[in-house]
Amino acid sequence: MQTLKNNIKNRLILSLRNKFENYKPETSSMPFHTRLLGKDRMALYSFIQSLNTNFGTSIFEPVAEELAKAYFDKIERQIAVTNTITKEAQRVIQDIMDSLESGNSKPNKNEEIARILAVSQSGETSIIKPTKVDLFLQKGNNVYLIDIKTAKPNKGGFKEFKRTLLTWIACFAYSNPNFNIQSLIAIPYNPYELKPYERWTMAGMLDLQAELKVAHEFWDFLGGTGSYELILSAFEEVGCEMRGEIDEYFKKFQK
């Protein structure tokens, strides 16, 4: 476990240093804020805002990749599923979405996948451009297509999240009919802790048991029981070890 933890720390340190090298502070003038708080604090604030914007890609994805290595046969980040989908699969996806939006049915991912797979290779096809998969995992014949979201995704976006998950299934199955395919939303931490995550906001669109993994559910899925605590500990240690380096980096913004 210590080796794994060290590997995760190294990936995290590398990601942060890469961010430092490529970071450019916001150019917008905030004269009152700057005079009140100082250029270095404003630069730190801007850096945190920038980091939050792509935390999933620059931090969570590489850490997730490292953690999953011991449990999965194949791990890839930011991959494109095939761009071919059958018109029948598109029709089925639209039927599923219409039924969920109208409240005529409740989300049931296994049934939805079965309906899509039944038509995923039959009839005419269309060429589309699906959203890239944040994290692709394969273990034996099982494939997981994961969309990593911010801790508080926009409630209005869940319809598109759902459509994306279903579309990934259809596109991947068109070229890979012999795999067991699952697609899901991952939320790396619970912003409401110590309270439960407010899953009810997604209940009408997502199958909460099959399509959503939050905080420890996600990290423990990748690396086994205890992985969430391991990740938190690694982040804390990196924060302590790099404190001097981080402080030194932001000193240059004092001038």
pLDDT tens track for 88-110: 999 999 999 999 999 999 999 99
Task: Give the integer Cα–Cα distance in Å for 243 and 37.
Answer: 20
State which residues of the chain have pLDDT below 50. none
C-alpha closest to that of 134 among 185, 181, 84, 171: 185
Whole-number pLDDT of residue 58: 84
Task: Give the integer Cα–Cα distance in Å for 37 and 46.
Answer: 13
Full-model pTM: 0.88
**What domains are there in the chain, each with its CATH number?**
72-223 (3.40.1560)
Whole-number pLDDT of residue 183: 98
Whole-number pLDDT of residue 143: 98
